[in-house]
Amino acid sequence: DAGVTQSPTHLIKTRGQQVTLRCSPISGHKSVSWYQQVLGQGPQFIFQYYEKEERGRGNFPDRFSARQFPNYSSELNVNALLLGDSALYLCASSFPGVGETQYFGPGTRLLVL
């Protein structure tokens, strides 16, 4: 079975631009989470969506938004990009329940110039 897939793999943007990142969860998984991983740091939680509803949000500005589609895939949007938004953006999917495991995709590496 295919794991979590993300697109694009790499992206270069300039300050002030907007970016959309995409994620397809593992088949059967209904929950998608987004994390930001800055170089040399651990991933930081941004959002989680379950059944198209936002279930949790981390400490990120309103420039970050996300949504989940009926097929459970998800998009992460970042507006007015800053240099500090340069990072690896990770998507994780899970099947909600006790002890749910987060399965991570390979990430999208975003570079803001």
Partner 1 sequence: QQQVKQSPQSLIVQKGGISIINCAYENTAFDYFPWYQQFPGKGPALLIAIRPDVSEKKEGRFTISFNKSAKQFSLHIMDSQPGDSATYFCAASYGGSNYKLTFGKGTLLTVNP
Site residues (vs partner 1, CB under 8 A): 4, 31, 33, 35, 40-45, 48, 55-56, 58, 90, 92, 94, 96, 98-107
Q: Which is nearer to partner 1, 33 or 78 (CB)?
A: 33
* Smallest distance from partner 1 to CB 51, Å: 13
CB of 102 to partner 1, least distance (A): 6
Minimum CB separation of residue 80 from partner 1 in Å reads 25
Taking a C-beta distance cutoff of 8 angstroms, is the pair 74, 52 a contact?
no
To partner 1, the closest distance from the beta carbon of 79 in angstroms equals: 23
What's the one-letter identity of residue 86? S
Cross-sheet strand order for the sheet of 74-78 = 5-7, 19-24, 74-78, 64-68
**Nearer Cβ to partner 1 (51/100):** 100
Helix (H, G, I), strand (E, B) or coil at 58: coil
CA dihedral 95, 96, 101, 102 (to 10 degrees): 80
> Which CB, 17 or 23, lies closer to partner 1?
23
Encoded amino acid at 10, one letter = H
